[in-house]
Structure 1
Amino acid sequence: MKKPASRYILFIVFILLGMVTAWQLKSTLNARKATASSALNANILREQIAELRLEIDQLRTAIDENIALQNDIIKEYIALQNDDQLSREWEIIKLHTGLVGVEGAGITITLDDAPVREPGMPPSWFIIHDYDIRTILNELKTAGAQAIAINGERVVPMSEQICAGPTIIINDNRYPVPYIIEAIGEPDGLYEAMSTSNKVAELKEFNILVDIKKSDKIRISKFSGADKLDRYISGLEVVEK
């Protein structure tokens, strides 16, 4: 009687082992399938990102060509008017609105969130906010900065600096830390203004990194939103004096 009982036990054990093996095999196949699917999705996403980047580059090129064409038309019109004063006024307008790139001496300010944060204190105290950026920009303008850029984005009167989580949106473009502020102007005056700035001192108190350097040559590109200037003046009417 023992042998049949042993056979039944072995039979049941083999069935259980078969079920476990089948389950493990199925799990392995599903895992591999999921991995393959994830890899496929990742490849598709990479292709889509590459296509979007190409499309963005093409749009930027088209915008630059359109702006260049507009400038050529304006130059031709001014030349036909044979008016030196009008020509000078147009050059001044381009400088003030950031329609042309500029170059000169100045300072560079690098800002980064605090690497070490005090326990028990709000995390927001140790990161850079849009109002911190705006205060520094205003202090630079007061100190005589003639042109300013943040992470390569030209700052003009229409520019906005908006917090978006751990990033800041400048001219509709999003940037993470570090924030690199470039200002063209008299280097010694700008450096002195930033070195004695109450805002800079406040940031340093919360371990926020602030590095200020003078530079003999800073190049700032033209305003990236030049193609959207119409939206800033829509609804306005010229009032004759």
Structure 2
Amino acid sequence: MKNNKQFYFVFLASIILGVLISTNFNLEQIGSFTELNAKQYKDATEERANLYKEIGNLKENNIETKDKINDYMKEDEKNEKILQDMKSQIVDYELFTGLSKVEGPGIVLKIKDGNINLEEDSEYETKSKIFHDNDMALVLNELRKAGAEAISVNNHRVVPWTGVICSWAFIGFDDNSMESAPFNIYAIGDPEKLKTALLEDGSHVKELIIRNLYVEIEERDNITILPTTNNKESQFMKRYENN
């Protein structure tokens, strides 16, 4: 009987201990609450105030940092816009100065000397049927005046400073390159407008036809003109700065 009482007591104690363990009951925490004296309370209050102040400073720094990041992003966008504008201007300059390959609608003006009969033609008629350097210069000027945006003589890209000279059976250019007949002059622009301007009365192309030179004008939907190989740099002129 005595052994049974001990057994039940141990069994009951085990159950109570198990319940306490399962509910995370901490006997040591009982009576752990302590009262602070005046100095400890003052120190704790000051520490809490300092922590609040540090948190406030961190929030302000965070806001300032975000503002700087936004400013940098706006500045980067502004610089990127300026850079893109500069690149666009460079592309435009390359188009007009012949430094880039271009394509577009236009015409092909084919010119070559007329049929010369040395036995029947006089000296004047013979010279009249030959396509000279001054003829080329006048034709190029007429194309520019008619609105040609890009011009090429055979494989030679015509640029603003292009000059021509007669070199026997060839047309020579300012970079010492030469092109021979027949001359295929490619011009990008409004095909109808270019053709009309070249064939109107008083034009030099019309005069070439009257002089019995071979002249043919072909309209095309797309013409490709290669860039110039003459990358000439200015040696004497410089930009005028008006202060």
**TM-score normalised over the length of structure 2:** 0.61
Please report how far the alpha carbon of residue 94 of structure 1 lies from its aligned counterpart in structure 2 after TM superposition: 0.8
Runs of 4+ off more than 4 Å: 79-82
Percent identity for Structure 1 against Structure 2: 31
Structure 2 unaligned regions, length at least 5: 1-78
- Match of residue 143 from structure 1: 146
Q: Pairwise mapping of residues 30-49 of structure 1 onto structure 2 (< 5 A)? A: none
Question: What is the count of residue pairs matched by the alignment?
Answer: 159
Establish whether residue 180 from structure 1 lines up as the match of residue 184 from structure 2. yes
Give the whole-Å Cα distance in 1 for the aligned partners of 2:92 and 2:241.
21
Q: What CA distance in whole angstroms lies between the structure 2 residues aligned with 1:121 and 1:204?
A: 18
Q: Report which of the two has the higher share of helix.
A: 1
Deviations 1:36-78 (A, max 9, x none): xxxxxxxxxxxxxxxxxxxxxxxxxxxxxxxxxxxxxxxxxxx
Gaps of 5+ in 1: 1-78
Q: Is the 8 A contact 2:198 2:206 kept in 1?
A: no
Residue by residue over 1:163-220, the C-alpha shift from the partner in whole angstroms, topping out at 9 and shown as x without a partner, is 0112101342112211110000011101111122521222122211000010011000
**Which residue pairs with 1:235 in the alignment?**
236
* Structure 1 counterpart of 2:108, one-letter code: T
Of 212-221 and 124-133, more deviation after overlay is shown by 124-133
What SS does structure 1 have at the residue aligned with 2:123? coil
Query: 1:71 matched to which residue of 2?
Result: none
Matches within 5 A, 1:1-241: 82-117=82-117, 119-122=121-124, 123-170=126-173, 171-196=175-200, 198-226=203-231, 229-230=232-233, 233-241=234-242
- Cα drift, residue 82 of structure 1: 5.0
- The alignment's TM-score, normalised by the length of structure 1, stands at 0.62
CA–CA distance in structure 1, aligned partners of residues 226 and 215 of structure 2: 23
RMSD: 1.9
Structure with bigger gyration radius: 2
Structure 1: distance between partners of 2:238 and 2:215: 43
